Amino acid sequence: MVDLSNNFLGKTAPNPTVLASGFMGVTGLSMASAAKHGAGMVTIKSLSLQPRKGHKTPVIVGFDMGMLNAVGLSNPGVEFGVEELKVAKKAAKVPVIASVFADTTENFAKAAAAVMPAQPDFLEIDISCPNVDSEFGIPFAADPKSATDVARAVKKVVGSVPLIVKLSPNVTQIVPIAKAVEAAGADALNCINTLKGMVIDPIARRPVLTNKFGGISGPALKPVAIRCVYECYGAVKIPIIGTGGVTTGQDAVEMMMAGASAVGVGSALYYRGLDAFNLIATEMKDWMKKEGFSSPKDLVGLAHGQ
């Protein structure tokens, strides 16, 4: 018998899937809807201290193996978001992940403290968005010291709420950064954010996105995400949410075999609709039954033994 229930940092989810930040907005009812459609955990769109409009349209473009987005971290701010997190906590019936970002270490800590009244099950800090360099400079996730400073500052204000640090694939070596945030107090990693890319319109003779650059998601990102999860799993002792290009149950199995304890799902909603969570979970269960696995934990890191 296959039981997909999954324990992540002491919280039990009905399956290993996680609504990735940014794909269902900031309302509590949208997060609850994702849970109703099978998401094992849900993440709010990343919040900042003050509301942000983000970048001018167009901000999303598809290509043959994925999508490119430069939404620019638009959000209504933590004051609005904290109330929606409270709604999600009541309505979703699955673990809820708050997510924040900021332009300075001090503001990361302030944003983290501001969402604590919602009593999220976890707090994720997005130190790795690839399409706001022009405003925020080099992402904190690009440097072990900067990543350490943010993780340590946030850890001081979140109390007993477990801290998840979202890492970037846009680095030459991800392991030193993973180890640095672990040492700074991170309780888990999210590997990975999107990969910086560009699409050009040959007729218009210019980049499609107003921001020029955007973050690659979808199937094209999966091999990069799996590599990052694999490398980090071999270097840290804290659990990992594997995010990037997971569209099917077999993708999720692959991610967990690389070392993920839970699996982020985002662009699959574009390809398969809101039922993507249920479809992925069902496909996982069918695959596990066929291959003789009874629990998701049996998959975690399995590829490291080969």
Tokens at residue 231, please? 């490398």
User: Catalytic positions, please?
Assistant: 129
Tokens at residue 56, please? 């001018």
Q: In terms of DSSP H, where are the helices of 95-204?
A: 105-115, 133-136, 144-155, 175-183
Cα dihedral 12→88→101→156 (10° resolution): -60
Which residues contact residue 8 at a Cβ distance below 8 angstroms, ignoring those fewer than 6 apart? 41, 95, 188, 239, 241, 261, 262
Which residues contact residue 163 at a Cβ distance below 8 angstroms, ignoring those fewer than 6 apart? 122, 123, 125, 151, 154, 155, 185, 186, 187, 188
- Comparing C-alpha atoms, which of 71, 69, 96 is closest to residue 82? 96
Distance CA 176, CA 172 (A): 10
